[in-house]
Amino acid sequence: MPITGLAELLRTMQPMLNPQTCVFAVVPNGTDTASLAPLGTFREAEGTTVIVEESTAASQGLSPLFRAAWITLTVSSDLAAVGLTAAISRALTDAGISCNVVAAAHHDHLFVPVERGREAIEVLERLQSQS
């Protein structure tokens, strides 16, 4: 059952660093992205942002806009929960780590600069232990 309470979300978030390096890239709107096996997509007027594994981007000739370490918060968070993104953003901001958050149906996913992935995990684990 998805969790809505902020204190419980923080206490049980269990951040996990995924092994893949991901990239954000843009393809023209209307592009068939199925062959890219994207982790996520978002269509804007200027183009469709795709989040894909770095090796896929390279093999498809996509120009990376952002290379990212992918962190999954393994807690089952409710999409209507309030405050989780703000708390995580504050902790990472205080450490000087940029973060792009994607909320999905079951978990929240954080994309941080690839070279700061391990550090971001440490920040999140500290936040969890203090909650």
Over residues 37-86, the pLDDT tens digits come to: 999 999 999 999 999 999 999 999 999 999 999 999 999 998 999 999 99
SS3 of residue 37 by DSSP: coil
pLDDT of residue 3: 87
Adjacent-strand bridge partners of 111:
70, 100
Buried b (16+ CB within 10 A) or exposed e, 1-23: eebeeeeebbbbbebebeeebbb
Share the mean pLDDT of the chain: 96
pLDDT of residue 31: 96
126: enclosing H helix or E strand: helix 117-130
103 pLDDT band, cuts 50/70/90, is very high
Domain boundaries, the chain: 6-130
Helices (H) and strands (E) in the chain, counts: 4, 6
Q: Write the class of the CATH domain 6-130.
A: alpha beta
